[in-house]
Every structure is written in structure tokens, then in C-alpha cells.
């Protein structure tokens, strides 16, 4: 199937749903990504912190070499973990990600976390994020990254960043799922036209035991995973589901075209997370 896209930034297209790769390693990671590409996934989310960029890169290269997909059709995201690095190190981290992924550009590069522990004293994160963002803007201007964004940023982190930013982040990737609704961050991003990616769209697995979500799924004749993803899409979020299980990788794509009514959208928004 073809995953629908959203347009963002300078008219670029981004598949509305991406495959998460957290905790996918080595041969399993390669298998999952190859299967996902066969099924129609084009958008993959990784990070330096996940320590799997080499495996992701191997899978992408294998798929491209086999003619299953072209680079243009793929949308690849990685993230910089920046707590101990000086400004010049951002480019080094980025180049290492590119090398491990065997790519010559990234579609999206994110600041992974706004305030890692070593940066919490005296709000050191503010200065650090401003420096990292400037380096990312430079990489964007050189054409090495197609879009830049942030992850796990709350409104006060974004406000601080925007004081010195030349570019507004294209994306904020935050934890969002039925029962996990970060209202202030969602509203801030909507006001500033920052796309919201939903990490942990199944509450990192917790949703599957929730009877209220099961009731909504039963009503539509769908699985819990499918209605959770449909909810995310109807909210305008871009969900990043992760699974190692072939049948789930396939069925999770079957979430487009489910029309949840207003009552069920509210039920899902407010279930206990």
C-alpha cells in the first residue's frame, strides 16, 4: 500500500506514518525494515542513541540494491544526542550518522532531548540547544538535511529555542498516544505550525490491556493498534509505531480510512494512560 503524505516546510512530502526502530538491532532490524519496505513503509525513525544506524543503513542499502525502493521514496530521520558535545561536534555526530546509515543526506534530523541531565544546572540546556540548532541550520543550508526539528520539547524549551533560531523547527517528536495527550505542547506546536510526530503511539505497549480502547476497537471492527493509529492521524499527528512481528507490521498499516467519530476521539484522548 501507499502511505499518504503530508506537506511540510518547503513543500516537501513526508509519509504520515513511520516505522519506529527503538530496540531493533542487527539481523532482526534488517529483517523488519526489509519487510516493512515490501509492505509499503517508506518512513523510518532512528537515532544515534538507538545504536542501530548501521543495521538500518544495511537494510536500506539492501532494499535499494534489490530495486525495492529508491532513495527519493524513503524518508529517514535520525537524532543527535548533544549533552557532552561542543558546537563543532554536531557536524561530526551528523556525519557519523550518515556514514552508518550509508546515506548522503538525511530527510529529518532532530535534537533528541531538550535538557539531558548534564545540562540542567543553571539552564545550560538553553545555550546548548541554541548552538546545536545553529549548527543544524547550517547543515540544512548546505543541503545535507532536508528538514530539521526537535524531540521531547515542551513549550518553554521551544520558546527558548525560538529566541535565537533562524528557522522554526519543522517537527516536534513527542510522546503521544490515547491517554497520553500533552495538551500544552500540542497547542503550542499547532499555533507555530510545527508538525507533531507521535512516539510510543501504543503507550509503549500499555494500550493493549485497556478495556476502554478495546471497546472502541470492537465498535469499528478493528484492532486496538489500528484505532490508536487512526486516532493519532485524525488528531493530525504522525505516528511512529514499532513492531518486530510480521503480522503486526502489516496490520498496523491498515489504519488509514478509519473514521472515528467525535465521541470516540474524546474517549481515546482521555483513557487512562
Which of the residues are catalytic?
A: 50
Closest to ligand NDP by CB, 202 vs 231, is 202
Of 14-22, 62-70, 98-106, 140-148, the segment contacting ligand NDP by CB under 6 A is: 14-22
Closest to ligand NDP by CB, 67 vs 257, is 257
Strand order in the sheet with 148-151: 19-20, 43-45, 75-80, 108-111, 148-151, 171-175, 195-199, 238-239
Indicate which single residue of 14, 34, 42, 45 sits in contact with ligand NDP (rule: CB under 6 A): 45
Indicate which single residue of 3, 29, 90, 240 sits in contact with ligand NDP (rule: CB under 6 A): 240
Q: Provide the 10 A C-beta neighbour count for residue 157.
A: 21
Helix, strand, coil % (nearest 5) of the chain?
50, 15, 35
Asked if 21 interacts with ligand NDP (CB under 6 A), we say yes
Binding mask 181-220 for ligand NDP (x = CB under 6 A): ------------------xxxx-xx--x------------
Is-contact 34 60, C-beta < 8 A?
Answer: no
Is-contact 232 10, C-beta < 8 A?
Answer: no
Q: How near is the Cβ of 127 to ligand NDP at its closest, in Å? A: 22
- Return the exposure string of 204-221: e unless at least 16 CB atoms fall within 10 Å of the residue's CB, then b: eebbeebeebeebbeeee
* Residue 77 three-state SS: strand
Q: How near is the Cβ of 137 to ligand NDP at its closest, in Å? A: 20
Asked if 244 interacts with ligand NDP (CB under 6 A), we say yes
Q: Provide the 10 A C-beta neighbour count for residue 147.
A: 22
Residue 52 burial (CB < 10 Å; 0-12/13-18/19+)?
Answer: buried
| Residue in the shown chain whose Cβ atom is closest to ligand NDP | 20
Q: How near is the Cβ of 75 to ligand NDP at its closest, in Å? A: 13
Of 95-103, 139-147, 156-164, 240-248, the segment contacting ligand NDP by CB under 6 A is: 240-248
Binding site for ligand NDP (CB under 6 A): 20-22, 45, 151-152, 173, 199-202, 204-205, 208, 223, 225, 240-245, 248, 251-252
Amino acid at each position: 500500500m501507499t502511505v499518504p503524505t503530508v506537506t511540510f516546510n518547503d513543500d516537501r512530502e513526508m509519509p504520515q506514518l513511520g516505522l519506529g526502530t527503538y530496540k531493533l538491532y542487527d539481523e532482526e532490524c534488517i529483517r523488519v525494515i526489509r519487510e516493512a519496505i515490501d509492505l509499503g513503509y517508506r518512513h523510518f525513525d532512528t537515532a544515534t542513541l538507538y545504536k542501530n544506524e548501521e543495521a538500518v543503513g544495511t537494510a536500506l542499502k539492501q532494499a535499494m540494491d534489490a530495486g525495492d525502493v529508491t532513495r527519493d521514496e524513503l524518508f529517514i530521520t535520525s537524532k543527535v544526542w548533544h549533552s557532552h558535545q561542543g558546537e563543532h561536534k554536531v557536524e561530526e555526530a551528523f556525519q557519523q550518522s550518515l556514514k552508518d546509515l550509508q546515506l548522503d543526506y538525511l530527510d529529518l534530523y532532530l535534537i533528541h532531548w531538550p535538557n539531558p541531565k548534564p545540562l540542567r544546572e543553571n539552564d545550560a540546556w538553553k545555550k546548548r540547544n541554541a548552538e546545536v540548532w545553529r549548527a543544524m541550520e547550517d547543515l540544512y543550508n548546505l543541503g545535507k538535511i532536508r528538514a530539521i526539528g526537535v524531540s521531547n520539547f515542551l513549550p518553554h524549551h521551544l520558546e527558548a529555542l525560538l529566541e535565537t533560531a533562524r528557522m522554526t523547527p519543522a517537527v516536534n517528536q513527542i510522546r503521544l498516544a490515547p491517554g497520553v495527550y500533552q495538551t500544552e505542547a500540542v497547542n503550542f506546536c499547532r499555533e507555530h505550525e510545527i508538525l507533531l510526530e507521535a512516539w510510543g503511539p501504543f503507550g509503549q505497549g500499555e494500550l493493549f490491556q485497556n478495556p476502554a480502547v478495546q471497546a472502541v476497537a470492537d465498535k469499528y471492527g478493528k484492532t486496538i493498534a489500528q484505532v490508536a493509529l487512526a486516532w493519532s492521524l485524525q488528531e493530525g499527528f504522525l505516528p511512529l509505531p514499532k513492531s518486530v512481528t510480521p503480522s503486526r507490521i502489516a496490520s498496523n498499516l491498515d489504519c488509514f480510512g478509519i473514521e472515528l467519530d467525535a465521541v470516540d476521539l474524546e474517549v481515546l484522548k482521555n483513557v487512562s494512560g
